[in-house]
Chains A and B, each alone.
Chain A
Amino acid sequence: MATLWVGSRKGLFRFDDGPGGWQVAGPPAFLAAPVTVLLDDPRDGALYVALAHGHFGCKLHRSLDRGASWEELKPPAFAALATTDAPTVEMLWCLAAGGADEPGVIYAGTLPGALFRSADRGQTWAINQPLYDRPERARWFGAGYDHDGIHSILVDPRDSRHLVLGVSVGGVWITHDGGQTWDLGGRGFVADYIPPAQAEDLVMQDPHLMVMSPSHPDRIWCQHHCGIYVSDDGGRTFRESRDVKPSSFGFGVAVHPRDPDRAWFAPAQKDECRVPVAGKFVVTETRDGGRSFAVHDHGLPTGPAWDLIYRHAFVIDSSGERLAMGSTSGSLWVSGDGGAGWQHLSAHLPPIAALAFAP
């Protein structure tokens, strides 16, 4: 049986794929609380849910019994400083499991942008000070939110000390020594939202989401603010996929677990018009490393639809055949055939921020 966790603006929902097909399973958890990101840790089955209460701040909850019960953990926090403008964590934007050889290690990316690490399954957290102290961080800036933030944390399955981060807006950051030193990646990105002379400035890039091929970790796919990019050297350099129809703008990207050339996207029109092109909601797929793209619409709305898929709401499972996507309009779709056809599970969920298949 497959399980899909759905993190929404109004709580956490669970869907199971049983003998009768996909069905909602049980009442929602954290009803009315905004879920910002999820982690279903494949190493030990722990489930983590980050919330961003409108009044009471960001919170972190963990379940060790697959959602039957929850315990609240103290979330990552910035150190107290004397200055009146000192930062506070406003949102957990990314949660990632450490390597297979690091049981209990999880990472969190926050708004404002910082990387935190826990070595005890979220009980305690420490900020990565070398990254936070980089002078380039002063040039990071917010996109969609008031602050910059870290939304992608990729852990190399060959080497747990090799991390690749995506920062909006702040570029691609790479460490090979577990976070003691960091280098900027992202050469090849071109940003059209800054003056032309700065368009290739590595710090001013906005990678909306990055995913690492599990089978070929040097292959990284990036849905950038200004297009679809692919890297074959672990994020140091990227090449752009050009002339992608109907659009190369979007937020989410999923990569096949065993075929690094195969990736899926949920396009929207463009920056200033974040809806499907001409109201035609589709998924695009490449099977040749981004040189060509197929358009899938079977099972998707035939009439005008204005669904937008957020960056953490487009996921693939370990089989490579099952995908899911959830929209800001509260629709949820799954595919069981590699994205060629889609089943509409609900049109009535709250706005969906994050999905996660159970491993």
Chain B
Amino acid sequence: MATVRFTSHLVRHRPLPGAVAIGGTVAEVLAAVFAGDDLLRGYVLDDQGRVRKHVNIYLDGALIADRLRLTDPVGPQSEIYVLQALSGG
């Protein structure tokens, strides 16, 4: 089970879901997290499912490589942080 943590900025806008989910890629993990709140998905990903321009996603301490399809592989102990970028505020 990967652990997903969201920026506290998002708490103002959406109730944040449980912090653990199963998936082999970042896309799969986030899809499981967003399953109960389609509006939350739109805060992190754009219409095409890409990471929003001013959102950063870290996987085990490093920015994900694939911002378009989020195919970075996730391990069972992985930590995913979804944070606002310093740009775009």
> A residues bordering B, Cβ < 8 Å?
53-57, 59, 72, 74-75, 77-81, 84, 86-89
Point out the residue from B38, B42, B47, B52 that lies within 8 Å of A55, measured CB to CB.
B52
Question: What distance in Å separates the Cβ of A334 from its nearest Cβ neighbour in chain B?
Answer: 31
Point out the residue from B50, B55, B68 that lies within 8 Å of A56, measured CB to CB.
B55
> Are the C-beta atoms of B85 and A55 separated by less than 8 Å?
yes
Residues on B with beta carbons closer than 8 Å to the beta carbon of A53: 13, 43
In this assembly, does B60 line the interface, its C-beta being within 8 Å of a C-beta of chain A? no
> Are the C-beta atoms of A75 and B88 separated by less than 8 Å?
no
Residues on A with beta carbons closer than 8 Å to the beta carbon of B42: 56-57, 59, 74-75, 77
Point out the residue from A59, A79, A88 that lies within 8 Å of B46, measured CB to CB.
A88
Question: What distance in Å separates the Cβ of B23 from its nearest Cβ neighbour in chain A?
Answer: 19
> Are the C-beta atoms of A57 and B48 separated by less than 8 Å?
no
Residues on A with beta carbons closer than 8 Å to the beta carbon of B68: 84
Question: What distance in Å separates the Cβ of A125 from its nearest Cβ neighbour in chain B?
Answer: 11
Q: Compute the total of residue contacts between A and B using a CB distance below 8 Å.
A: 52
> Are the C-beta atoms of A55 and B48 separated by less than 8 Å?
no
A254 to B4, CA, bound (A): 50
Q: Given A57-B42, A74-B39, A75-B42, do A80 and B48 touch, yes or no (CB 8 Å)? A: yes
Question: What distance in Å separates the Cβ of B54 from its nearest Cβ neighbour in chain A?
Answer: 4
> Are the C-beta atoms of A88 and B48 separated by less than 8 Å?
yes
Q: Chain B interface: which size bin?
A: 20 to 34
Q: Given A72-B39, A74-B42, A84-B68, do A56 and B48 touch, yes or no (CB 8 Å)? A: no
In this assembly, does B70 line the interface, its C-beta being within 8 Å of a C-beta of chain A? no
Given contacts A54-B88, A72-B39, 16 further A-B contacts (CB under 8 A): A56-B10, A56-B44, A57-B52, A59-B13, A74-B38, A74-B42, A77-B42, A78-B47, A79-B47, A80-B47, A80-B48, A84-B68, A86-B47, A86-B48, A88-B47, A88-B48
Residues on A with beta carbons closer than 8 Å to the beta carbon of B88: 54-55
- Between B42, B44, B49, B85, the greatest number of chain A beta carbons within 10 A of the residue's beta carbon is seen for B42
A81 to B68, CA, bound (A): 12
- Between A54, A75, A78, A87, the greatest number of chain B beta carbons within 10 A of the residue's beta carbon is seen for A54
Would you mind naming 20 contact pairs between A and B with Cβ atoms under 8 Å apart? Answer: A53-B13, A55-B52, A55-B54, A55-B55, A55-B84, A55-B88, A56-B10, A56-B42, A56-B84, A57-B46, A57-B52, A59-B13, A72-B13, A74-B39, A80-B47, A81-B48, A84-B68, A86-B47, A87-B47, A88-B48
Question: What distance in Å separates the Cβ of B20 from its nearest Cβ neighbour in chain A?
Answer: 23
Q: Given A55-B9, A56-B10, do A78 and B48 touch, yes or no (CB 8 Å)? A: yes
Point out the residue from A72, A74, A80 that lies within 8 Å of B49, measured CB to CB.
A80
**Smallest CB gap from A90: residue in B:** B46
A59 to B48, CA, bound (A): 16
**Smallest CB gap from B50: residue in A:** A88
Question: What distance in Å separates the Cβ of B56 from its nearest Cβ neighbour in chain A?
Answer: 9
Residues on A with beta carbons closer than 8 Å to the beta carbon of B36: none
Q: Given A55-B52, A56-B13, do A77 and B89 touch, yes or no (CB 8 Å)? A: no
Residues on A with beta carbons closer than 8 Å to the beta carbon of B43: 53, 56-57
- Between A56, A59, A78, the greatest number of chain B beta carbons within 10 A of the residue's beta carbon is seen for A56
Q: Given A80-B49, A88-B46, A88-B48, do A54 and B39 touch, yes or no (CB 8 Å)? A: no
